[in-house]
Amino acid sequence: MGTKKLDSDVEFIKALSELLRANDLTEIEVRREYGENDTIDVRVGRSIQAVAVAPAAPLAVAAAAAAAPVAAATPSDDPADLPGAVTSPMVGTIYLSAEPGKPPFVSVGDKVSEGDTILIIEAMKTMNQIPAPASGTVKRILVEDGGTAEFGTPLVIIG
């Protein structure tokens, strides 16, 4: 690959990164074609941390809340916050089995070992096996076969 082409690709990727920031996107995926059998596939992504900001409470309400007994913390409604949540490392299509008609990699109640394949995510026509990050029992499967995943989508709960 020539230096001129490499420099052009680096500038192209920098421009995509800037588009990502400027338009508040989490991912851009493009294919740049130079000619027959000469292409580059580029995926640029970033994660965004959401910060919840509560409105300021009047002093009387704040004082009454401080005097009230402390209630047990309510569990988050976000499955990604649950202990044992396995989240998607990429964007793609989810497959729960190796091929149509075959049994799923895991079912609720199955015991898995660290590294066992729990599902596949297809990204850019590549099948990516998603391994169990730890040993345990599959408590919940949060996605459907053929569904899509984004970065950080909770997939499975292993406890």
Looking at domain 80-158, which of 3.30.70.1230, 3.20.20.450, 3.90.1150.10, 2.40.50.100 is its CATH number?
A: 2.40.50.100
Confidence (pLDDT) at 35: 76
Indicate the pairing of strand 117-123 with strand 136-141.
unpaired
What pLDDT shows up at residue 45?
74
Are 90 and 127 in contact, with CB atoms under 8 Å apart?
no
- Cβ atoms 93, 10 nearer than 8 A: no
- The whole model's pTM is what? 0.52
pLDDT at 58 (0 to 100)? 47
Would you write out the chain's pLDDT as a tens digit for each of its 159 residues? 566 667 777 787 777 777 767 777 777 777 777 777 777 777 777 665 444 444 444 444 444 444 444 444 445 566 667 788 999 999 999 999 999 899 999 999 999 999 999 999 999 889 999 999 999 999 999 999 999 999 889 999 999
**Distance of alpha carbon 138 from alpha carbon 157, whole angstroms:** 6
Q: Delimit the CATH 2.40.50.100 region(s) of the chain.
A: 80-158
pLDDT for 83 equals 82
Long-range Cβ contact pairs of 6-10 (< 8 A, separation 24 or more): 9/40, 9/42
Rounded to whole angstroms, the Cα distance separating 80 from 157 reads 9
